[in-house]
Structure 1
């Protein structure tokens, strides 16, 4: 797996591209309660056809960034940062693109080769190419830690959801270098109308 520029201070494991497999994954020993809760998570995530939210992102408990998160399933996602950050990440259904608005430069990786594909796919399953390695609970919070089944050593993604009602509160990504990135969502609006133009990647200078 390779990491795009600024990933260490951005979404970390969400935007990691695929590479050669090595270590075997160690799945969690799931209880009956775990399986029931994971089914609820799948159903909840599957119900999110569109989402708009604000986010606050911290990296290694130091750097702090704010911005907006948009999701339009299947395949489309956008994360844009408040000034002075000029970066954004856009999934258009085929590619996941890092775009530098100041330099008008972009870098693309196939969406299906990243764990971001899990967030945007039409059929969300906590199995198959992702493996649940830990389930924990506390204070109306359910946490589900995931790794890519074929590449567990390259990072993890933990989804934190309130349970009553179920609502995605945050995610925590740990990349292969141990960088910890937490993204907290606020003002979450499911089911909103989102213009497809949000998921069109701007041109880079050489495309003009």
Structure 2
């Protein structure tokens, strides 16, 4: 599989490169995140062992996201505005985590002040902007490195190409986006899901 240029850069620097402050670029990223009210895209997700799965992601502000994986993958991830639900249909289990406790909080809460938690990571390509976000007061929530390319038609003149998330245990997940569509109608029903647990175990 050939990586798009933004991801060739992102994967090579996400874990180790020093961060530098570039307030004007941080403002552009903030403008982009606040200007994206909805997003749909195809994605490829790769875990720390190199295993990849594909799917479709839907985002709607504030705080809603859905990762719909390819057929045969019994996992669904849905953010309903309050929590992230990790649904495993194979074992009939649901795990819930506060959105604010996830690296995805950067995408799902565009009102956050990025200047307090984000730095620009040096990039080998002038067309690729990479932002490393980590809350120093809450290191247990991990970090996320976002990759953008220049796109004059998108909010802030940037297009999100994907991200690398590191959790507190240093587990790394890479998500590459393609076929991104911004600010198109996304129904509320997209963020509904069937609970696989017996009724008495729901809560």
TM-score under structure 2 normalisation?
0.78
1:4-58: CA deviation from partner (whole Å, max 9, x where unpaired): xxxxxxxxxxxxxxxxxxxxxxx9552xxx1111100100111100000000111
Pairing partner for 1:80 from 68, 88, 94: 68
Q: Residues 37 and 127 from structure 1, CA distance in 2 versus in 1: closer, same or farther, beyond 3 angstroms?
A: closer
Whether the aligned pair in 1 keeps the contact of 2:64 and 2:81 (CA below 8 Å) is yes
Return the offset for 1:69.
Answer: 0.7
Give ranges in structure 1 of 5+ residues lacking alignment.
1-26
Whether the aligned pair in 2 keeps the contact of 1:115 and 1:148 (CA below 8 Å) is no
Give ranges in structure 2 of 5+ residues lacking alignment.
1-17, 153-157
1:154-203: CA deviation from partner (whole Å, max 9, x where unpaired): 52210000024410011011223332221000000111111111112322
Cα distance in 2 for residues equivalent to 1:136 and 1:74? 30
Asked whether 1:193 is paired with 2:179, we answer no
Partner of 1:178: 170
What does residue range 90-101 of structure 1 map to in structure 2 within 5 Å? 90-101=78-89
1:41-95: CA deviation from partner (whole Å, max 9, x where unpaired): 1001111000000001112362011011110001111112102211011111112
Partner of 1:43: 31
What does residue range 143-158 of structure 1 map to in structure 2 within 5 Å? 143-152=130-139, 155-158=142-145
Larger fraction in strand: 1
Query: What secondary structure, in the 3-state scheme, does the structure 1 residue paired with 2:34 have?
Result: helix
Whether the aligned pair in 1 keeps the contact of 2:103 and 2:165 (CA below 8 Å) is no
Partner of 1:136: 122
Q: Residues 162 and 61 from structure 1, CA distance in 2 versus in 1: closer, same or farther, beyond 3 angstroms?
A: farther
